[in-house]
Structure 1
Amino acid sequence: MKHVLSIAGTDPSGGAGAAADCKTFCAHGCFALNVITAVVSQNTQGVRGYMDVTPDLIADQIDAVFEDIDVDAVKIGMVSVPETIRVIADKLKQYTPRVVVIDPVMVATSGHRLLVPEAEQTLRDILLPLADVLTPNIPEAEVLTGKEIHSLADMEAVGREIAAMGAKAVLVKGGHRVEDATDLLFDGTDVHYFKGQRVESTSTHGTGCSLSSAIASNLANGMKLSDAVAAAKHYVFTGIAHAEPIGKGHGPIHHFYELYKKAGLI
Structure 2
Amino acid sequence: MSLQIATIPCREDNYAFLLHDKDSGETALVDAPEAAPVIEVLESRGWTLTHILITHHHYDHIDGVEELRAKYGAKVVGAKADAARLPALDIAVSEGDIIKIGENEGKVLNVSGHCDNHLAFHFPRSFAVFTADSLMALGCGRLFEGTPEQMWRSLSKIAALPEMTIVYSGHEYTAANATFAYTIEPGNAALKDRILQIIEARAQKMPTVPSLLTDELATNPFLRPQSPEIRQRLGMESATDTEVFAEIRRRKDNFKGTEMPDITEEPCNCAYE
TM superposition score category, shorter chain reference: 0.3 to 0.5
- Structure richer in helix, relative to its length: 1
Tell me the TM-score normalized by structure 2: 0.35
Larger radius of gyration: 2
- Structure richer in strand, relative to its length: 2
Tell me the TM-score normalized by structure 1: 0.35
